Structure 1
């Protein structure tokens, strides 16, 4: 039933599965079974609520590896669409408005069977990255504890790479629900903002594209924040309050360039110092 490999992530590989309409997400052998079960359960819960997600079919095991069979979604990620439109500001604005709309739709969903606590999960993901000291990690945990707690559905991994746009109709589909939680929606929005403000483009990016991105990133982040605040009634200040833990989460992923890690670590230290003075 296993077909061609079509994608690879930090924790898994994605293959065709038994025909053109399904894929299987096969996790690496070091992924704990309970994490796979959690992603399956979360994805099933949000799909049953009618959210724009890939339909999950079943848990499987293939040659000793845990996997989840999903509906196949053919399309580009939002990140690839944004890069393709770096010289077309209006088109980029449309994509960012779409992301704000999808996140707002997720956040206002009720009666969903997701039970993970956002703050506890976020602390676990951050762990102890080498670029942050033990004292800094303790300060981040203390900072998280003091952030306003809510019990709304949050995607928990709102990286724009996890938003697919279907080839057939352009409809948005959000993938990767392992870290879905109940908490404060501002965290999801902050994750997108941290990426827009601090991203370091790959070295192979054409020079003119890099130049345009540097000129437009501030305006792009501003538009995204304003659109989400317009839809939700949230304030910009509520979103920016979550920059510290979401920057630490990005560092902990180990999937960003060293220069970006340095930028984020510097921002965290500066904001922790400001917070300490203000207390």
Structure 2
């Protein structure tokens, strides 16, 4: 891999400069191939809707790893803008809300993408740290929540937005058809307790910790104003979203916080 320049790292994949103004997202060798194919197909569909997202070019192999070649986008993550220019936090948080609202404003996408409730149920059933009774209660509760078929990102947060000549939304692996309130609940949860990738500079981690409540507050205020959703609509999805997140590659510290949120809310009947 010496001939390729590393330009980004994450928990599941590394990003390298590629050829002809493209990048290649190379996944860890243990990462499921089906999930890579899924990201490629979802990204193609989202791109076809006219959403500002990098064009997915092809799935390929490099250095014994599978990757997706994407059009290269030059820009700075919204997270980096927030942490380097905290005096503009309200502006950037409002941008986050507007982008998310615009995603949810697309027409019905049922039949095109995976179903939100189906994805959540699958992950809840696999969730470590929850017992069988807790899983059954959470799934029964989830089934009672309103079902919709809007385009949802599934992992929308400031590090998945690039700002350059245009504002670009990346990482559509978890794209699905569902209720926007559940998608917003996921974002609110990430803004509340989501841990930064290990490779993030400590200064950035410290800054995010200080700013996260303000980002969340402004983001939710504007999203609710544009969408007409009430905070209770969003809060009602926190339990299943938190339970499903337990299946992800997370530090033990975050898993403990998720378990605490789930069990407190279950005991309160919400």
Q: Under a length normalisation based on structure 2, what TM-score does the superposition of the two structures give?
A: 0.86
Answer whether contact 2:108 2:151 (CA < 8 A) is retained: no
Evaluate the alpha carbon distance shift between residue 62 and residue 248 of structure 1 in structure 2; reply closer, same or farther with a 3 A threshold. Answer: same
Question: In structure 2, which of residues 114, 117, 122 is the aligned counterpart of residue 116 of structure 1?
Answer: 114
Instruction: List per-residue Cα deviations over 1:10-40 (Å, max 9, x = no partner).
Output: 2222111114x10011222333332222111
In structure 1, the residue corresponding to 2:4 is in which secondary structure? Answer: strand
Question: In structure 2, which of residues 219, 222, 239 is the aligned counterpart of residue 224 of structure 1?
Answer: 219
Answer whether contact 1:44 1:56 (CA < 8 A) is retained: yes
Answer whether contact 1:114 1:153 (CA < 8 A) is retained: no
Structure 2 counterparts to residues 197-236 of structure 1, below 5 A = 197-199=192-194, 205=202, 213-214=209-210, 217-236=212-231
Question: In structure 2, which of residues 239, 244, 253 is the aligned counterpart of residue 244 of structure 1?
Answer: 239
In structure 1, the residue corresponding to 2:143 is in which secondary structure? Answer: helix
- Measured in 2, the distance between the counterparts of 1:26 and 1:198 equals 27
Evaluate the alpha carbon distance shift between residue 47 and residue 241 of structure 1 in structure 2; reply closer, same or farther with a 3 A threshold. Answer: same
Structure 2 counterparts to residues 52-131 of structure 1, below 5 A = 52-86=52-86, 88=87, 91-110=88-107, 114-131=112-129
| Pairwise CA RMSD | 2.8
Match of residue 28 from structure 1 = 28
Return the offset for 1:43: 0.5
Evaluate the alpha carbon distance shift between residue 92 and residue 116 of structure 1 in structure 2; reply closer, same or farther with a 3 A threshold. Answer: same
Match of residue 146 from structure 1 = 144
Match of residue 10 from structure 1 = 11
- Measured in 1, the distance between the counterparts of 2:12 and 2:214 equals 33
- Measured in 1, the distance between the counterparts of 2:171 and 2:269 equals 33
Unaligned segments of structure 2, at least 5 residues: none
Return the offset for 1:197: 2.4
- Measured in 1, the distance between the counterparts of 2:143 and 2:221 equals 26
In structure 2, the residue corresponding to 1:238 is in which secondary structure? Answer: helix
Evaluate the alpha carbon distance shift between residue 26 and residue 204 of structure 1 in structure 2; reply closer, same or farther with a 3 A threshold. Answer: closer
- Measured in 1, the distance between the counterparts of 2:159 and 2:125 equals 22
* Matched pairs, number: 266
Return the offset for 1:100: 0.8
Answer whether contact 1:17 1:23 (CA < 8 A) is retained: yes
- Measured in 2, the distance between the counterparts of 1:227 and 1:114 equals 29
Evaluate the alpha carbon distance shift between residue 28 and residue 204 of structure 1 in structure 2; reply closer, same or farther with a 3 A threshold. Answer: closer
Match of residue 183 from structure 1 = 178
In structure 2, the residue corresponding to 1:3 is in which secondary structure? Answer: coil
Answer whether contact 1:128 1:134 (CA < 8 A) is retained: no
- Measured in 1, the distance between the counterparts of 2:144 and 2:108 equals 26
Evaluate the alpha carbon distance shift between residue 77 and residue 131 of structure 1 in structure 2; reply closer, same or farther with a 3 A threshold. Answer: farther
Answer whether contact 2:17 2:23 (CA < 8 A) is retained: yes
Match of residue 255 from structure 2 = 261
Unaligned segments of structure 1, at least 5 residues: none
- Measured in 2, the distance between the counterparts of 1:235 and 1:98 equals 20
